[in-house]
Structure 1
Amino acid sequence: MSKTVIFVVDGFGIGAMPDAGALRPGDMRADTCGHTLDHHRTELGRPLRLPSFGALGLGLVHPHPDLADRTTLPVAVGRAALGYPGADTYAGHQTMMGADFTSVTVARLGEHLDEVAAALRAGGHRVDPLDTKPLLVVDGAVLVHDNLEADPGINWNASGRLEDLSFRRILSIARTVRAVAPVARVIAVGGHADAPLPRFVRPGDGGTVGLDTPATGFYRNGELEVQHLGAPLDHTRQLPELAARAGIPVTLVGKAADILACDAAVRRPAVPTADVLAHTLDAVRADGDGLVVANVQETDLAGHQQDTSQYGAVLEEVDAGLGELIALLDSPGDRLIVTGDHGNDPTIGHAYHTREYVPVLIHRPEASGLELLPDATGLADVGATAAHALGLDPAGLANGTALRPARHAA
């Protein structure tokens, strides 16, 4: 009996990828991990207490004075490029589970306005411009627009007031947009706004134009309805489905429970880190084999809030939980894989994700010592490595290659 746990620290990057500055040149200095460590030493007068991260080899892939530069645990350590465009939680997790995201692009709605309008008209909808802005007004009530809360070009929204029409109709419009959209997500949003939605349209970064959703009052007025429509993917060729078909119990925890597909999975959605850790530990303590995919979201939330102190506090809470997981995953064949899905540097000066490498820290109780992994070309290699640990054929995934040690450390 063995357990494999993929533990995703949301927004935990370890340094900018070479193309990180394509949208914002300042992002070339992004280093979520390093800047958070620096903040605590200089501003709070002490280093972060991360003994479990250190034991898992974080300091070997991100050298820093506050991280151990050696470990006695049997671990394999490396780092991964993202392997998908932009920096996005949904795309990151789908890629990590083995999805092929090569057909997904970063695109502004304005670049596809005619195509989207034609699809909506073919579906029987009335489509009008809003002045000269690159967005669409559908049936006089729903705005189709760039999402201003994620990196430019990652997601599009179809937003409507529930005073004007039902969420079912908003969702129907979003599905028509989804059918022709090249982006990772089309998000249907229905809520109660303080005024007609066109009043809240504004320009965003990178040439985008969209609805300032927080300003509408949607988030504070209650009864908000949201549905995320992801890019078409073959979920049967992702790790949770591959494991479930092999009779391996699957548990999805935290944000992973919201965004990953697997009908057979036990789902434990949660946002508080303490709850995510508790659900993960409970799943590991269960008898028999199992795959657990868990996501800690509060690091990402701290990054969006540009709250470096809170980011560090969550990391310390996560570290304590990792210590418990290491102690529980002590049988030959067990795996604890700690990684991230993108960066979210709380010192970068904006509230968007940052395009960074992420750590790949693998605890393997039966191994003899430390092994160094080659750089993974994408997060799909993490899923393929977990598949191999579970005795599954990684070729059953749509994308990814199991990581093999480049060399044993001296």
Structure 2
Amino acid sequence: MIRRVILIVLDSVGIGALPDAAEYGDAGANTLLHVAEGVGGLALPNMSDLGLGNIIQVPGIQAMDMPKGAFGKMQERSAGKDTTTGHWEMSGVVLEQPFPTYPQGFPPEILEPFKQQIGRGILGNKAASGTEIIQELGREHMDTGFPIVYTSADSVLQIAAHEDVIPIEDLYHMCRVARKILTGEHAVGRVIARPFIGQPGNFTRTPRRHDFSLQPPEKTLLQLVAESGEEVMAVGKIKDVFAGVGITNSLSSTSNEEGVLRIKEFLQQDKAGLIFANLVDFDMLYGHRNNIEGYAKALAAFDKELPGIMALMSPEDVLVITADHGTDPGFPGTDHTREHVPVLVAGRQVKPGVDIGTRRSFSDLGATIAELLHCGSTAHGESFAREIIESIRADNNNFKGGDDSWTR
């Protein structure tokens, strides 16, 4: 019997372009491969042990004769390549229509009522890097008090403001105003508050970012787990991505390192259900900034933490490592890339060396976790639970954690 699943999303760690990537301008994208090539090879021994090198050939990562985990990759069935779409799909929600994007900026029917309701003008209104636009418009923002409104290739409206010019609660209020306006054909996936501090030429973003997301249109894996009476423990931006729906407890994090600590906190509580974590540094700090070396170091740092996570798992736990899209730092541009994502599954009851192949939808993962936790069925997805879980052995009932042969 599986009592708890730990689902860790390595934000943006894609492993190769999807068949329709050219429609998104992403033909040839491969986040993990290009990071590895950019640094002369990656050393990720713990994920390699679980089967990462059996999914994709990457310099420095070996394929194992008998990986300690199950392994494979997933295609995204939904239209899009953004955070919300990826996370929703892995929870069982498939979107037939992509969220709207605004590469040329937002139209007057959005901005005019927004300006009227907040009682001031705006700056920006274009697609831009968040760090670059605050350097470009930060001084004017401080002089005028107008918030900086911008977007990206994702379905987002972002509002940046200096904390000394627009207090954080006022910034959050502006985001709520925008969220109420952005409905129907303009229902973007997220409205994001982007506070910053500092002086012209030396602005830095603060950790008080907050995402205001749409609620999922269908019942998700999270709701199924919560309704079954078990815990849904969110780490990082998971609560924001799901607008809090189906989450019973949440711990925020401002970095991968802090995210790992929060995962360990939940593991030590030993509550049944789902631990769902997003480690955002790969995407936010390195993918979007084309920082190949930083990306590689972040991957190595997570790999080093993996044995500590697995040491806290019980025989009734299953660990899943995956991603939500790509953000290839070696690819032209700074936007997300439409890619396959890896799936690594580990645990005392997981059959070693099982190749689950290429799943046709991220929703297969949600269907699998729902079956593992016996909490019903998601609306979409084909479970691979029976391919990867061994029959429960009698000696598992007496396992006290002394045998760590399935971890590195």
- What TM bracket, shorter-length normalisation? 0.7 to 0.9
Change (3 A) 1:377 1:266: same
State the AA in 1 paired with 2:279. Answer: V
369, 381, 389: which one aligns with 2:372:
389
What CA distance in whole angstroms lies between the structure 1 residues aligned with 2:181 and 2:124? 8
RMSD value over aligned CA atoms?
A: 3.6
CA 1:278–1:365 in 2, change beyond 3 Å: closer, same or farther?
same
User: What TM-score results when the alignment is normalised by the length of structure 2?
Assistant: 0.75
Q: Which residue of 1 aligns with 2:305?
A: 321
2:333: which partner in 1? 350
Match of 2:293 among 306, 309, 312: 309
Aligned mates of 1:406, 1:357 — CA distance in 2: 21
For the pair 1:233 / 2:216, whether they are aligned, the reply is yes
Contact 1:6 1:293 in 2 (8 A): yes
Moved more, 30-39 or 322-331: 322-331
Closer/same/farther in 2, CA of residues 368 and 350 from structure 1, 3 Å limit: closer
Using the size of structure 1 for normalisation, the TM-score is 0.74
CA displacement 1:209-249 (0-9 Å, x = unmatched): xxxxxx999x5498x986533234247x1222221221212
Counterpart Cα distance in 1 of 2:173 and 2:254: 29
Q: Does the 8 A contact of 1:252 with 1:268 survive in 2?
A: yes
Distance 2:351 2:173 in 1: 58
| 2:39 alignment counterpart | 40
Asked if 1:21 corresponds to 2:22, the answer is yes
Which residue pairs with 2:380 in the alignment?
399
Q: 2:225 & 2:66 partners in 1: Cα distance?
A: 31
CA distance in 2, matches of 1:98, 1:22: 24
The structure-2 alpha-carbon separation of the partners of 1:327 and 1:148, relative to structure 1 and needing over 3 Å to count, comes to same
CA contact (8 A) 1:12 1:344 kept: yes
Change (3 A) 1:330 1:164: closer
Alignment gaps of 5+ in structure 1: 42-46, 128-137, 195-214
Counterpart of 1:383 in 2: which secondary structure? helix
Between 1:260-269 and 1:351-360, the stretch displaced more is 260-269
Unaligned runs of 5+ in 2: 130-150, 390-408
Among the aligned pairs, what percent are the same residue? 24
Q: Is the 8 A contact 1:72 1:369 kept in 2?
A: yes
Instruction: Give the total of aligned pairs.
Output: 361
CA offset at residue 65 of structure 1?
4.5
| Cα distance per residue 1:18-66 (max 9 Å; x no partner) | 2323343xx322111112222232xxxxx43211111111111112352
1:229-268 matches, cutoff 5 A: 229-234=212-217, 237-260=219-242, 261-262=244-245, 264-268=247-251
Structure-1 residue corresponding to 2:47? 53
Does 1:269 find its partner at 2:252?
A: yes
Check whether the contact 1:14–1:343 (CA below 8 A) recurs between aligned residues: yes
**Quick one: distance in 2 between partners of 1:62 and 1:375?**
12
Q: In the superposition, relative to structure 1, how do residues 179 and 192 fare at CA in structure 2: closer, same or farther (>3 Å)? A: farther
Measure, in 2, the Cα distance between the counterparts of 1:386 and 1:69. Answer: 26
Is 29-38 or 139-148 further displaced after alignment? 139-148
- Residues 53 and 216 (structure 1 numbering): CA distance in 2 closer, same or farther, change over 3 Å? same
2:83 corresponds to 1:89? yes
After superposition, where does 1:94-105 map in structure 2 within 5 Å? 94-105=88-99
SS at match of 1:28: coil
